Structure 1
Amino acid sequence: MLHILFFLSLLFYASNGAVQDFCVADLTAPEGPAGYSCKKPAKVTVDDFVFSLGTVGNTSNIIKAAVTPAFATQFPGVNGLGISMARLDLAPDGVVPMHTHPGATEVLIVAQGTICTGFISSANSVYLATLKQGDIMVYPRGLLHFQINSGKTPALAFVSFSSANPGLQILDFALFANNLPSALVEKTTFLDDAQVKKLKAVLGGSG
């Protein structure tokens, strides 16, 4: 038994010794389920590990909000590290509609303004809070959540994720911004035809 444990320990240390320090994303290669392929170390520079979230996002849109991601696609240095970030700008009355991140837990910190936010558990329990500057909230992986600027001035938050590619699905767009037949949307949401057609027209859907 001791011989087996010793052999396994050697395998463990050997495998750990082969682990690379990093895997900067090679954006010229296709992205796979495990992320991007690694750029050759000789081509890696310090710029791969630096990214700016200092630019205010354009909130001149239907939701009056802007998300500036620093995921592996934008920030190659986080590829394979299990982390990423984003900047969230919310104009007055701005909203990030109900959405999920299938691949990551999210942590949000408010840097400016006031944000009403919350998430819904799989048991349909609601966890709701109004956050001010310096406040932090965590959203467990895969659960529906949202953010609303509940103040009268622009709000700013920074979010971090437990994945370099957290994924995103916005509920409103999933229902009304595609060609899913209206009859099926009505059947599964209990909305009437006029409401569904109106939302499809607003969000660019058809059918």
Structure 2
Amino acid sequence: MGKHMIFSCFLALTLFNVAFATDPMPLQDFCVADNSSPVRVNGAPCKDPKLVTAEDFFFTGLNIPGNTSNAFGSKVTTVSVAEMPGLNTLGVSMARIDFAPKGVNPPLFHPRATGILTVLEGTLLVGFVTSNPENRLITKVVQKGDVFVIPVGLVHFHRNVGDTNAVAVAAYSSQNPDSTAIGKAVFGSTPLISDDVLAKAFQVNRNTIDGIQSKF
């Protein structure tokens, strides 16, 4: 096989893998998560189909406002495979995000999913930062009925810029998108990252780092 053919095959294989770099397609009608099983796989093992009921595909309570009386003024209510076992292997999940006036969903990223946000009430400032080397901030004020997409793996945030409560619903391209909050991961890890490391990384003194870590 010539070098050109080898390169073409390699390129096609690479593009194929990139195109399907999301949750794998299911090989059966459904695979309701058996959360009682001690087995751990990439996803959850399947419950016996004969024991599956409608409750496995059902979640209630997303109409209930989340408690935003916290330091950030926001609350995320998730509907992932942990809350709805029937989502297992289906590659989708969702969340409700509530905001108090001026509340913020602080910088975070979803390592396994693209998110598409729909504003139900209020006015939000949303944005994400592109990867190196540009690190460009792409941001927009979105109103009730507007939709905004956050690409997979990118750091992003939401802030209520209105004077009333705001509500949004997000859909994700994974049954378990995960949510890694930057502040908590960096300053609230267990055990803590050395303040020497963080002081050097952020170009501040150790007392500043100690003060931030104490909040997490």
* TM-score bucket of the superposed structures, by smaller chain: 0.7 to 0.9
Q: CA deviation at 1:33?
A: 5.2
Once the two structures are superposed, residues 1-60 of structure 1 have per-residue CA deviations (whole angstroms, 9 ceiling, x without a partner) of: xxxxxxxxxxxxxxxxx9310111111125745211111111111111111211111111
Q: How many angstroms apart in 2 are the aligned matches of 1:99 and 1:107? A: 15
Q: CA deviation at 1:167?
A: 1.3
Q: Does 1:153 pair with 2:161?
A: no
Q: How many angstroms apart in 2 are the aligned matches of 1:27 and 1:97? A: 30
Give 1:7-86 correspondences, 5 Å limit: 19-30=27-38, 32=40, 34-52=42-60, 53-86=62-95
Aligned length: 186
| Runs of 5+ unmatched residues, structure 2 | 1-25
The amino acid of 2:94's aligned partner reads M
Q: CA deviation at 1:141?
A: 0.4
Q: Does 1:170 pair with 2:181?
A: yes
| Runs of 5+ unmatched residues, structure 1 | 1-17
- Structural RMSD (CA): 1.5
Once the two structures are superposed, residues 69-104 of structure 1 have per-residue CA deviations (whole angstroms, 9 ceiling, x without a partner) of: 100011111110010001100111211111110001
Partner of 1:106: 115
TM-score, L = length of structure 1: 0.86
The amino acid of 2:146's aligned partner reads D
Identity of aligned residues (%): 39
Q: How many angstroms apart in 2 are the aligned matches of 1:84 and 1:114? A: 23
Q: Does 1:191 pair with 2:204?
A: yes
Q: Does 1:138 pair with 2:167?
A: no
Q: State the secondary structure of the residue aligned to 1:183.
A: helix
Q: How many angstroms apart in 2 are the aligned matches of 1:163 and 1:34? A: 12
The amino acid of 1:73's aligned partner reads A
The amino acid of 1:160's aligned partner reads A
Q: How many angstroms apart in 1 are the aligned matches of 2:140 and 2:39? A: 36
Partner of 1:201: 214
TM-score, L = length of structure 2: 0.82
